[in-house]
Amino acid sequence: MSAAARFVRYNAGLILAIALFAVIYGTYAVLHPNWGLNVVLQNANESLALIFVGMAQTMAVLVGGLDLSVGPLMTLTNCFGSIVMAGSGGSVLAGVVGALALGAAAGFMNGCVIVYGRIQPIIATLATGAIYLGCALILRPTPGGAVNGDIAWAFTNDLNELGLTFGWWEDLGPIGLLPMQALFLAAVIGLVWFPFRATVLGRGCYAVGSNEQAAYMSGLNVNRSKIAAFTLGGFFAGCAGVYLTLQMGSGNADAPQAAEYTLRSIAAVVIGGTSLFGGTGGVVGTIFGALVLRSITFIFRVIPAGAALSFVADPLLQPLFEGLILLLAVSLGAARVLRVKNRLSLFT
Amino acid sequence: MSLTPAPLLEMRGISKSYGGVKALTDVDFVARRGEIHAVLGENGAGKSTLIKIAAGVVTPDTGTLAVDGAPRAFASPQEATGAGIVCMFQELSLLPDLSVADNIFITSPPRTRLGLIDRRAQRRRAEELLARVGCEDIDPATRIRDLPLSRRQMVEIAKAVGRDPALLILDEATSALTAADVEKVYTILHKLRADGLALLYISHRMHEIEALADTLSVFRNGRRVDTFAKGAHSDDAIVQMMIGREFANVYPAKPKRAAPPPPVLQADRLTFSPGLNGVSLTVGKGEIVGIGGLDGQGQRELLLALFGVLAGVGGTVKIDGTARRIGSPADAKRPEIGMALIPEDRKTEGLMLPMSVAENITAASLGAVTKGVVIDRAGEADNVGRMVKEMQIKVGDLAAPVATLSGGNQQKVVIAKWLLTKPKIILLNDPTRGIDVGTKEEIYALLRRLADEGAAVVLYTTDYAELIGCCDRVLVMYEGRVTAELTGEAITETNIVSAALNLAAETAA
Residues A304-319 pLDDT 10s: 767 776 776 677 777 7
CA–CA gap between residue B196 and residue B420 (Å, rounded)? 62
Q: Least CA distance to B272: which residue of chain A?
A: A341
Determine if the peptide bond prior to B401 is cis (ω within 30°). no
Which element (helix H / strand E) includes A246?
helix A222-248
Contact of B90 with chain A, judged by CB distance below 8 Å, is answered with no
Q: Quick one: B349 exposed, middle or buried, by C-beta within 10 A (0-12, 13-18, 19+)?
A: middle
B143: nearest CB among A10, A217, A341: A10
What span, in angstroms and rounded, lies between the C-alpha atoms of A147 and A144? 10
User: Would you tell me the crossing angle of helices A222-248 and A180-188 to the nearest 10 degrees?
Assistant: 170
Contact A210 B95 (CB under 8 A): yes
- B139 at interface of A, judged by CB pairs closer than 8 A: yes
Overall number of domains in chain A: 1
Which tens digits make up the pLDDT trace of B263-288? 888 888 888 888 888 888 988 888 99
Chain CA centroid to CA A187, Å: 15
Q: How far is CA B43 from CA B48, B242, B442, B474, in A?
A: 9, 10, 24, 17
Instruction: Round to whole Å and give the CA distance between B9 and A25.
Output: 64
Least trusted range by pLDDT, from A219-233, B216-230, B393-407: B393-407
Q: Do A219 and B76 touch (CB under 8 A)?
A: yes
**Candidate from B91, B115, B117 with C-beta closest to A203:** B117
Question: Domain of A136?
Answer: 6-347
CA distance A212 to chain B (A): 9
Three-state DSSP state, B67: strand
- Model ipTM value: 0.72
Contacting residues of B for A340, CB less than 8 Å apart: 311
Answering whether pTM is above 0.80, one says no
pLDDT for res A159 = 86
Please choose, from the candidates A275, A280, A279, A277, the residue with its C-alpha nearest in 3D space to the C-alpha of residue A348.
A277
Residues of B whose CB is below 8 A from A214: 92-95
* CATH number for the domain running over B263-508: 3.40.50.300
Using an 8 Å CB-CB cutoff, list residues of chain A that contact chain B: 1, 3, 6, 10, 195, 198-200, 203, 206-207, 209-211, 213-221, 279-280, 340-344
List the one residue out of A246, A247, A328, A303 whose CA is nearest residue A43: A247
Query: Where does the pLDDT of residue A213 fall: very low under 50, low under 70, confident under 90, or very high at 90 and above?
Result: confident
Q: Is B93 on the interface with A (CB under 8 A)?
A: yes
Examine residue A137 and state whether it is found in any structural domain, yes or no. Answer: yes
A203/B309 touch (CB, cutoff 8 Å), yes or no: no
3-state secondary structure of B456: strand
User: How far, in Å, CA of B334 to CA of B421, rounded?
Assistant: 9
Does any CB of chain A come closer than 8 Å to the CB of residue B328?
A: yes
Q: Rounded CA gap, A263 and A319, in Å? A: 11
Q: Which of A211, A220, A277, A338 best tests the B interface by mutation, with the highest count of B CBs <10 A?
A: A211
Model pLDDT, residue B247: 47
pLDDT band (50, 70, 90) for residue B468: confident
A with B: how many residue pairs have Cβ under 8 Å apart? 88
- Contact call for residues B201 and B88 (beta carbons, < 8 A): no
Instruction: Please write the tens of the pLDDT for every residue from B13-66.
Output: 999 887 656 788 999 999 999 999 999 887 667 888 898 899 888 899 999 999
CB-based contact B109 A203, cutoff 8 Å: yes
**Contact assignment for A214 to B76 by CB distance below 8 Å:** no
- Kindly report the nearest CA distance between residue B56 and chain A, in angstroms: 9
* pLDDT mean across residues, chain B: 83
| B75/B362: higher pLDDT | B75
Candidates A2, A210, A216, A276: best to mutate against B (most CBs of B within 10 A) is A210
pLDDT digits (tens, 9 = 90+) for A37-80: 889 999 999 999 999 999 999 999 999 999 999 999 999 999 99
Chain B CB contacts of A220 under 8 Å are 78, 106-107
Q: Which of A158-167, A305-314, B29-38, B80-89 has the lowest mean pLDDT?
A: A305-314
Query: What pLDDT, on the 0 to 100 scale, is given for residue A345?
Result: 67
Within a 10 A sphere around the Cβ of B323, how many other Cβ atoms?
Answer: 10
* CATH number for the domain harbouring residue A260: 1.10.3470
Domain edges within chain B:
24-243, 263-508
Confirm whether A160 is domain-assigned: yes
Q: What is the pLDDT of residues B469-478, one digit of tens each?
A: 888 899 988 8
A198 neighbourhood in chain B, CB within 8 Å? 116-117, 119
Which stretches does DSSP call E strand in B198-253? 198-202, 215-220, 223-229
Residue of A7, A200, A208, A223 to mutate, interface with B, max B Cβ within 10 Å? A200
Mean pLDDT, range A127-154, rounded to an integer: 90
Contact between chains at A221 and B78 (C-beta distance less than 8 A) = yes
Q: Tell me, what DSSP letter sits at residue B264?
A: E
Query: With contact defined as beta carbons under 8 Å apart, do B210 and B229 qualify?
Result: no
> Looking at the predicted structure, is the pLDDT value of residue B246 above 50?
no
Residue A1 included in any domain: no
Predicted local distance difference test score (pLDDT) of residue B199: 92
pLDDT of residue A276: 85
Is pLDDT above 80 for B183?
Answer: yes
Cα–Cα distance list, A143 to A39, A87, A146, A208, A245 (Å): 27, 17, 10, 40, 12
Distance (Å, rounded) from C-alpha B458 to C-alpha B441?
17
pLDDT at residue B63 in the model: 92
Chain A positions in Cβ-Cβ contact with residue B309 (cut-off 8 Å): 342-344
Q: Is residue A91 domain-resident?
A: yes
- Tell me which of A342, A345, A347 to substitute to probe the interface with B (most B C-beta atoms closer than 10 Å): A342
**A214: nearest CB among B78, B94, B139:** B94
Average of per-residue pLDDT across B368-395 = 77
Percentage of residues of chain B with pLDDT beyond 90? 15
Indicate yes or no: CB of A344 within 8 angstroms of CB of B96: no
Q: Does B119 touch chain A (CB under 8 A)?
A: yes
What is the distance between the alpha carbons of residues B433 and B317, in angstroms, rounded to a whole number? 28
- Report the gap between the CA of B15 and the closest CA in chain A (Å): 22
Q: Does domain B24-243 have CATH number 2.60.40.640?
A: no
Which of A267-271, B281-285, B354-358 is predicted least confidently? B354-358
Helices (H), ranges, B196-298: 206-212, 235-243
Q: What pLDDT sits at residue B1?
A: 43
Cβ separation of A279 and B96 shorter than 8 Å? Answer: yes
Query: Which of A200, A214, A343 shows the shortest C-beta gap to B95?
Result: A214
